[in-house]
């Protein structure tokens, strides 16, 4: 039996202002299993980024239930969410989101420095170098992000996402800011990570990259309109 | 060019930033208000003309006496010299007048109120063109030698003593044994020149003829007295220096002819100095008020720096809007106009508040400083002050807009929309930001250290026990009227009888007759010597007291005994001294029962024995002087100390009634609670404590706003970075700690600089600053500033750490 990494039931997200309510997500049911590579597609404004924010506990749902590895994380406070995010989730952003003032090494080490239980500097060094090796960037450890190319920066971002050994890697348009050669390289790296057992959930516009995933979710107006398992080419479920 | 649309847009934008508007309006309103009040004060004192016609030609002629060419006595005149100068027919002046001041009681009123009197010749009020509320000024027929029993009263006397009686004219009031007819009341807005002490206002104007009692004084050229003046109005173009020379020559010729053969006067000469009214009234106040203006200006500058930070932080927040405007073709001028419109609205509100603050400030100055600062009664917010407020407000608005618009990198704004929300359009380097924090902290810490030091000292004085009781004790000054000239023995007997009469009053528990109390000393000094040759003599304050004085005041005897009733009645060769004097007479202070020679003001060399040594008193702000007490009924300046039974009050009428049983000439001049005398003594401390408390709060407030401005700007710049940190798992507390850590470096550096500055100042002052007793004074400023830094760090990070990471990353 496959091990469930996360599951969402009836998740909604409403952004309220004085004048109006905007329903970004309207009842999402989703299950992601250990080792899955899920891609989320859909037109602009369909709720992809909101769903990714909720998956990564960067934001909390308005209603619904959300479990990560069996733990209810639907309504955590900011500190509790930060702990779970730090230990269970890794992020890769479209615009890399590296901190310019920190070296590559310190950028990658950042999640370890926010651990609930202090990690020794020796362990941090070991893990950071391991991750930099995975993305083949060890030689750039003491550089600043702005000294690197876009592709290199995204590899550093991947290393940072991996350093905490997360249960789930959330990837937001990882190739959006890269040329096709660098984009392909990054996607290859992500596929390799998945092949090694990392669970991935990726938002992308690019159908070519979306098809690299094992499961493809289509979002429209805040709802998942269909889910495809790409390895078999069959539509498994329609959840509208 | 600014348009109404700019203002409308700015107004709507500001409606969404109420906290920002409130902070700036309060910061600038209070500091600009303080500056306007100080400007107004400086203008009034240093630039505004005196409210008298031809004020630049009005001079007071001060007499001086020189011994061997050196100034021996300043501001002294002899009566005949003054009168001869006044009568001089030489045509030097347009007008001349005489004036001297005193205090007396109005005997015709049941409560015998004590009033300030000025004795003048008729020209005095004419020189000032004194406006009248009722009646008239003195006329020429009521001048020197006429002995016309007429008086003019002030508006204040009419209000307070006569309750604005409309039929006051021609009514009489009695001073001494003379009844004077009231012929006029000066107008409410008449302001007299205060030559004899700031805040001293004349209550009653009397003819000059009633100013001097003794026949001898009127003809003695060597009896020099201060506080009596000739005032003149010069002819147009006349040179005071020339007139000084002429008048000095004339007076010296007369002085030489008239002075006695006493060796003391042989090499004494006299002279006059012409001092303009402006200088005579203001004295050396210019430096002090300019310092106040500089202080207020410094506060405004600090506030301006703080406000700049706040504006920068706001502009930093609005960069995206500006970038959109720039992308749509807005020129730099358009962005500048938008900024200017916003800033102008805020400054206009601040200027309005400043006007209110300055109004309050002016009233406070009038109320609290009329005894310290001349001409404050004339203070009002003039058009000059309004103009000053507007100019300052507009200058600030343009300066802020100019500064901020120059910080905006217009080219970078165009890239902003393409590079996500990291923002690069407005950037002030970390170094500058740290310098701003360092400056704020240094200034605030120095100000806090100084303020707390003063505050601590003032509070210590306020709480300090005096060394004697003041509760339920009242000082009663006696006006002896015509009895002043009766023989001493008769007066002594009368005073003893009065003591007995007072003692019969059911409200009085105990009483003492004396020359002065410990707080209100008349300053009579004398000398004691251990040897009859007087080679080594020690100076001491001398008070004449009875045997109840020590008991009434509950003073503590360190050794020996108090006077006995017989010693007081019969007179004795016994003295009490305080510990300070005992130690002056002999290093170990063991002088009990020892005998000393008393010079008795040069009259003789009597031997007195020390029968008791009193513990030193601890009057605030006063170093305890050597004191000596003799058991004797005072010759002049007789006062009583009344110890009332608890919760009792006594009136002048009640005491006057008892005095009437002895002799109608004796009247109570004034009843002053000793607690009030104590309060007066503490006025400076209470004022200092209040001012420093306000200053401390203001300094803290300004520092908080300043540091918050810089921090919120810094945090705003790092918002995206914090978003990333939060995304990878940083908890809110860690973000706060990161902000705090970054801020602590410049804060600690600022504290170090401040400590060095305070140390340098103490070293330059050679102050005996006691580390132990002022530990709190040392610790409190850094503690306050560190707390402030923590609070402002939390506040500036608050809008980030209370939001979900997704919103921070989006820049919402």
Is the pLDDT confidence value at B261 over 80?
no
Phi-psi region of A21 (alpha: psi -120 to 50; beta: other; left: phi over 0): beta
Number of C-alpha atoms within 13 angstroms, CB side, residue B705? Answer: 27
Segment B140-189, tens digit of pLDDT: 999 988 899 999 999 999 999 999 999 999 999 998 889 999 999 999 98
Pair B659, B666: CB distance under 8 Å: yes
Rounded Cα–Cα distance for residues B517 and B642 (Å): 11
Q: Do B728 and A85 touch (CB under 8 A)?
A: yes
Q: Do A99 and B724 touch (CB under 8 A)?
A: yes
**B480: which 2 tokens?**
């002896």
Q: How confident is the model at residue B263 (pLDDT cuts 50, 70, 90)?
A: low
ipTM of the complex: 0.82
B724 touches chain A (CB under 8 A): yes
Cα–Cα nearest to B316, from B411, B225, B426 = B426
Contact A59 B807 (CB under 8 A): yes
Inspect the interface and report whether the beta carbons of A78 and B809 lie closer than 8 Å.
no
Q: Do A97 and B809 touch (CB under 8 A)?
A: yes
Residue of A nearest to B800 (CA): A78
Taking the CA of residue B798 and the nearest CA in chain A, the distance in Å comes to 13
DSSP H or E stretch at residue B560: strand B557-560
Q: Which residues of B touch A160 (CB under 8 A)?
A: 728
Residue B188 DSSP symbol: T
Inform me whether the pLDDT recorded for B424 exceeds 50.
Answer: no
Q: How many CA atoms lie within 13 A of B220 on its CB side?
A: 14
pLDDT of A231: 55
Q: What is the three-class DSSP state of B636?
A: coil
pLDDT value at residue B414: 61
The 10s digit of each residue's pLDDT in A59-109 is 899 999 999 988 999 888 888 888 898 989 998 888 888 888 889 999 999
A12: left (phi over 0), alpha (psi -120 to 50) or beta: beta
Which strands make up the sheet holding A168-172, listed edge to edge? A89-92, A168-172, A200-203, A37-41, A215-220, A223-229, A234-237
Contacts of B479 (CB under 8 A, 6+ apart): B104, B105, B112, B114, B666, B667, B668, B669
Residue in A with minimal Cα distance to B808 = A58
Place of tokens 């706003």: B705
Residue A2 · residue A34 · CB < 8 Å: yes
Cβ atoms of B21 and B349 closer than 8 Å: yes
- The shortest C-alpha distance from A55 to chain B (Å) reads 11
CB contact B741 to A (< 8 Å) = no
Q: Cα–Cα distances in Å, from A125 out to A106, A132, B364, B648?
A: 10, 10, 66, 85
Residue B420 has its nearest CB partner, among A58, A91, A95, at A95
Distance from CA of A153 to the nearest CA of B (A): 14
Mean residue pLDDT across chain B: 85
Q: For chain A, which residues lie within 8 Å of any Cβ of chain B, measuring from their own Cβ?
A: 53, 56, 58-60, 78-79, 81-83, 85-87, 91, 93, 95, 97-99, 101, 110-111, 114-115, 160, 164
DSSP calls for B365-433: HHHHSTTTSTTGGG----HHHHHHHHHHHHHHHHHHHHHHHHHB-HHHHHHHTTTTT---SB---HHHH
B804:A58 CB<8 A = yes
Are the beta carbons of B177 and B482 closer than 8 angstroms?
Answer: yes
- Mean pLDDT lowest among A7-21, B327-341, B713-727, B774-788: B327-341
Q: Which residue of A has its CA nearest to B726?
A: A82
Cross-chain Cβ contact A160/B728 below 8 Å: yes
A22-55 residue pLDDT tens: 899 999 999 999 999 999 998 888 988 889 989 9
Q: Would the CB atoms of B728 and A83 count as touching at under 8 Å?
A: no
The span from the CA of A119 to the CA of A87, in Å, is: 12
pLDDT(B409) > 80: no
Q: Which positions in chain B touch A87 (Cβ < 8 Å)?
A: 729
Chain A residues touching B807 at Cβ < 8 A: 59
- pLDDT recorded at residue A202: 93
Q: Enter the pTM of the model.
A: 0.69
**Residue B367, token pair as written in the block:** 């109320």
Minimal-distance CA residue of chain A relative to B723: A97
Contact status of B646 with chain A (Cβ, < 8 Å):
no
């Amino acid at each position: 039996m496959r091990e469930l990494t996360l599951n969402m039931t009836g998740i909604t997200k409403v952004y309220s202002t004085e004048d109006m309510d905007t329903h970004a997500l309207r009842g999402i049911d989703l299950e992601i299993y250990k080792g899955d590579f899920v891609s989320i597609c859909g037109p602009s404004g369909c709720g992809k980024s909101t769903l990714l924010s909720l998956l990564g506990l960067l934001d909390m749902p308005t209603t619904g239930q959300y479990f990560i590895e069996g733990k209810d994380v639907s309504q955590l406070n900011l500190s509790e969410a930060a702990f779970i995010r730090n230990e269970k989730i890794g992020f890769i952003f479209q615009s890399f989101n590296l901190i310019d003032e920190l070296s590559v090494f310190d950028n990658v080490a950042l999640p370890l420095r926010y651990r609930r239980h202090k990690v020794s500097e020796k362990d941090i060094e070991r893990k950071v170098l391991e991750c930099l090796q995975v993305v083949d960037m060890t030689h750039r450890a003491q550089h600043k992000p702005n000294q690197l190319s876009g592709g290199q920066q995204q590899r550093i971002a991947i290393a940072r996402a991996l350093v905490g050994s997360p249960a789930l890697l959330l990837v937001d348009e990882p190739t959006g800011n890269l040329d096709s050669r660098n984009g392909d390289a990054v996607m290859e790296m992500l596929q390799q990570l998945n092949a090694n057992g990392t669970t991935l959930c990726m938002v992308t516009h690019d159908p070519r990259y979306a098809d690299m995933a094992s499961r493809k979710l289509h979002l429209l107006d805040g709802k998942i309109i269909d889910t495809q398992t790409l390895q078999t080419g069959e539509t498994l479920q329609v959840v509208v | 060019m600014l348009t109404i649309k700019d203002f409308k847009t700015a107004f709507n934008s500001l409606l969404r930033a109420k906290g920002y508007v409130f902070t700036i309006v309060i910061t600038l309103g209070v500091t600009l208000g303080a500056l306007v009040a100080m400007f107004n004060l400086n203008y009034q004192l240093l630039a505004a003309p005196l409210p008298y016609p031809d004020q630049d030609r009005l001079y007071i002629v001060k007499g001086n006496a020189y011994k061997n060419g050196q100034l021996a006595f300043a501001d002294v005149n002899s009566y005949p010299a003054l009168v001869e100068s006044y009568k001089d027919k030489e045509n030097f002046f347009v007008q001349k007048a005489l004036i001297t001041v005193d205090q007396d009681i109005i005997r015709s009123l049941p409560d015998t109120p004590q009033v300030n009197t000025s004795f003048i010749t008729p020209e005095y009020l004419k020189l000032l063109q004194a406006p009248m509320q009722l009646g008239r000024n003195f006329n020429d027929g009521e001048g020197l030698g006429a002995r016309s029993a007429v008086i003019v009263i002030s508006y204040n006397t009419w209000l307070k003593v006569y309750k604005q009686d409309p039929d006051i004219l021609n009514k009489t009031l009695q001073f001494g044994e003379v009844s004077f007819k009231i012929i006029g009341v000066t107008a409410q807005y008449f302001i007299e020149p205060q030559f004899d002490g700031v805040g001293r206002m004349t209550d009653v104007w009397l003819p000059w003829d009633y100013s001097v009692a003794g026949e001898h004084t009127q003809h003695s050229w060597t009896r020099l007295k201060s506080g009596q003046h000739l005032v003149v109005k010069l002819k147009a173009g006349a040179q005071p220096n020339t007139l000084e020379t002429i008048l000095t020559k004339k007076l010296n010729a007369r002085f030489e002819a008239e002075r006695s053969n006493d060796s003391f006067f042989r090499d004494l000469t006299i002279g006059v100095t012409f001092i303009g009214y402006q200088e005579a009234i203001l004295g050396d106040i210019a430096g002090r008020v300019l310092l106040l203006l500089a202080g207020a200006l410094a506060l405004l500058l600090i506030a301006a720096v703080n406000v700049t930070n706040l504006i920068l932080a706001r502009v930093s927040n609005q960069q995206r809007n500006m970038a959109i405007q720039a992308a749509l073709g807005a020129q730099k001028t358009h962005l500048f106009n938008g900024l200017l419109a916003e800033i102008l609205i805020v400054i206009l509100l601040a200027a309005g508040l400043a006007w209110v603050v300055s109004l309050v400030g002016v009233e406070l100055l009038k109320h609290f400083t009329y005894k310290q600062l001349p001409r404050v009664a004339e203070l009002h917010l003039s058009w000059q002050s309004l103009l000053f407020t507007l100019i300052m407000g507009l200058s600030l608005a343009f300066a802020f807009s100019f500064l901020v618009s120059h910080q905006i990198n217009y080219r970078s704004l165009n890239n902003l929309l393409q590079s996500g929300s990291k923002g690069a359009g407005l950037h002030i380097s970390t170094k500058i930001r740290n310098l701003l924090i360092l400056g704020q902290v240094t200034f605030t810490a120095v100000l806090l250290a100084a303020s707390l030091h003063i505050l601590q000292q003032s509070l210590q004085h306020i709480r300090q026990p005096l060394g004697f009781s003041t509760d339920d004790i009242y000082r009663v000054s006696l006006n002896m009227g015509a009895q002043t000239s009766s023989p001493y023995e008769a007066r002594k007997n009368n005073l003893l009888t009065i003591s007995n009469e007072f003692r019969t009053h059911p409200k009085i528990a105990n009483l003492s007759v004396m020359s002065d109390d410990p707080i209100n000393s008349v300053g009579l000094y004398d000398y004691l010597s251990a040897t009859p040759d007087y080679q080594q003599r020690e100076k001491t304050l001398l008070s004449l007291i009875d045997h109840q004085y020590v008991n009434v005041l509950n003073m503590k005897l360190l050794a020996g005994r108090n006077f006995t009733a017989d010693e007081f009645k019969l007179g004795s060769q016994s003295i009490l001294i305080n510990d300070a004097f005992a130690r002056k007479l002999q290093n170990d202070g063991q002088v009990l029962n020892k005998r000393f020679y008393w010079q008795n003001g040069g009259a003789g060399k009597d031997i007195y024995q020390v029968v008791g040594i009193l513990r030193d008193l601890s009057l605030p702000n006063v170093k305890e002087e050597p004191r000596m007490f003799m058991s004797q009924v005072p010759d002049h300046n007789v006062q009583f100390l009344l110890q009332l039974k608890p919760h009792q009050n006594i009136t002048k009428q009640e005491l006057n009634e008892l005095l009437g049983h002895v002799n109608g000439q004796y009247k109570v001049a004034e009843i002053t609670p000793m607690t009030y005398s104590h309060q007066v003594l503490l006025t400076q401390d209470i004022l200092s404590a209040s001012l420093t408390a306000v200053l401390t709060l203001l300094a803290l407030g300004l520092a908080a706003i300043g540091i918050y401005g810089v921090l919120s700007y810094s945090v705003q710049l790092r918002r995206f970075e914090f978003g990333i940190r939060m995304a990878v798992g940083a908890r809110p507390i860690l973000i706060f700690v990161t902000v705090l850590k970054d801020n602590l470096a410049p804060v600690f550096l600022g504290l170090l600089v401040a400590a060095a500055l305070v140390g340098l100042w103490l070293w330059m002052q050679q102050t005996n600053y006691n580390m132990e007793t002022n530990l709190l004074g040392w610790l409190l400023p850094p503690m306050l500033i560190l707390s402030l830094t923590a609070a402002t760090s939390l506040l500036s990070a608050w809008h980030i750490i209370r939001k979900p990471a997704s919103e921070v990353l989006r820049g919402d």
